[in-house]
Every structure is written in structure tokens, then in C-alpha cells.
Amino acid sequence: MKRFAFFFLAFPLLCAFGGQKASAPPKIDAEKSLIKAVLENYVVSIEKEDINLYAKVMAHGPSMVNFGTSEEPVVGWDALKKLIEGQNAALSDTKIEVRDVTIRVAANKKFGWATSLWNFQANMGGKAMALPVRCTWILEKKDGAWVIIHFHKSVAAKE
């Protein structure tokens, strides 16, 4: 009888708490794939010197601040666009090999951040250059699309 009473009392609790399936995890993987596509388009825009594609993946705020490999902070979309247009004019045959990409998405799926390593190669003034670049990205989902709102790139110190 005691077993029956225990089962009778425990069964509703098991149904209420233990029997429920854990809520499905947010579809973060889908958001990560979308962010990865933005980062891939960023690379394509640099390699192909496509300022229109570059503009599509970047936020256009006047107060955004980005850091390149050697410049002072780049403040605002207009300054960033001017910098990239100058880079496009100065470099040719740009190739970027991307590796070690890590992407994270906030639980609210409105912000994401990523890191990656680049092997950056280009010609400048007829001379080949190769740089190991470390990249950090912050993205925001605006109007249903991910855009880069901040990046920081640095060249790894040579030993």
C-alpha cells in the first residue's frame, strides 16, 4: 500500500517536472551560418575590390569605430568607405586565406561575435606582401540581416 501511495503522489510530480521535454535550443546554428556568410562576403569584397558588396555587409553608422592593422581608429562609415577605396586603389591581386573561424551568437539572436585568422596576401607598388592577420568581429542583426558593426584587425608579432 505504501508503494501505491508513493506512486500516486510521485506520479503527478514526475509528469509536471520530470516528464516534460527540455525546451528546444534556440536555432543558433542557423544564425551562425548567416554570420559566416557575412564574413565570407566581407573577404570576397576585399579580394574583388567590390565596394558595393563591402557596403552591404557593413553597418553605416557615423559613430562606428573600427581598427585596422596599422591605422588610427576609423570612425564612421564615410571614413571607412574612403579607407577601403584607398586600399582598393593601392593593392592588387589580394588573396585572403581564412582559418580558425569561431562564431558566437547572443541568446537573443540580435548580436554575434567572431574571431578568425587570415593569411593576407597582396601586391602593393609591384611588391608582394604577406601578413598574418588576427580578426575580431562584432555583428548586429538589423532589419532581419546581419551586418558588421565593429572589427579589429592586428598583425601577429613576428618572432
- Domain residue extents for the chain: 26-155
Once rounded to an integer, what is the mean pLDDT over residues 59-65?
Answer: 93
Q: What is the pLDDT of residues 63-87, one digit of tens each?
A: 999 998 877 899 999 999 999 999 9
Of the candidates 89, 58, 90, the one whose C-alpha atom is nearest the C-alpha of residue 76 is 58
Q: Do residues 83 and 75 touch, judged by C-beta distance below 8 A? A: no
Of the candidates 60, 55, 43, the one whose C-alpha atom is nearest the C-alpha of residue 133 is 43
Average pLDDT, the chain: 86
Share of the chain above pLDDT 70, in %: 82
How many whole angstroms separate alpha carbon 65 and alpha carbon 81? 12
Q: Do residues 74 and 7 touch, judged by C-beta distance below 8 A? A: no
Q: What is the pLDDT of residues 125-146, one digit of tens each?
A: 999 999 999 999 999 999 999 9
CATH code for 26-155?
A: 3.10.450.50
Residue 5 backbone phi and psi in degrees, to 5: -65, -40
